Structure 1
Amino acid sequence: MKVVFILIRLTGYLLGSFALFSGVADVLGFIPHSYETPPWPARLMASLPSMLAGAVLLVPIKYCLRGAMLYVLAAGYALVVLAAVVLSVQALIGYSSGTKGPAIVPAAMIFLYIPVANAFVLWRMRRDYKGPPNNSFKPNLSADAAKSA
């Protein structure tokens, strides 16, 4: 199961880095547009959602399994999964209406699967998390009393 989690996280890292770096490239003006390149604030606002989703997918899960960071990451995954569901449903509706080609169906399912699987890995790692070991010394008073008597 650990190998499956590693592969899921690897796909999450790949998709996250692609989303983040392509958004940065668009904001910097390296991606050509059809008619003319819009001003950089418009490009930033258009690329910001995908860049934030990429940043959520790039956060290492094993360092965020407790405290407030867990809840922030879980909320980020919830928003990314919700956006992926909305985009997948829109793609499937476009396919059923005939405005999109048949290749949109597997693409929509893949782009839905990656954030959902990464959110599942977060849930499973949090469920299996035991926390740091408790190495504090706790004397057993009843055993000490029995030895001295």
Structure 2
Amino acid sequence: MTGPPDLIRAAGCVLWRRAPGPGGLEVCLVHRPKYDDWSHPKGKLKQGESPLAAAVREVGEETGHHCVPGPPLPTAHYRTGGRPKVVHYWAAEATHGHFTPNREVDRIRWLPPAEARARLTQLRDRELLDALLTTLHRVDGA
């Protein structure tokens, strides 16, 4: 990967699971008390770590859930603290796990897509949710 020397590299997942009822899908959002926001699980890459490995690790650390990564989703590019940031995302199906609140993430919510979309703080996270739904729709062939 190339980029400016001050580039922040991160990765995450739009975590989903099958659910009973209309739509049959729930999305996991994380609440970060430091920013008082709702977003998808994500975090910075460790030295020598691939973006996909970082995304799966961050899901586990932030949500307590294991996941099976699926198709890539759009990459987010933005500035934070005056520095450029790139975040690679994947769709990921939750398999099992249990959330334990921590300093970085104090709450998670499993929500139907429309409720998740309304709760997400950033527009770019809403766009990722839309991309997930489009991707899953294509995969299911519906």
Give the TM-score normalised by the residue count of structure 1: 0.22
Which structure features the higher share of strand residues? 2
Give the TM-score normalised by the residue count of structure 2: 0.23
Which structure features the higher share of helix residues? 1
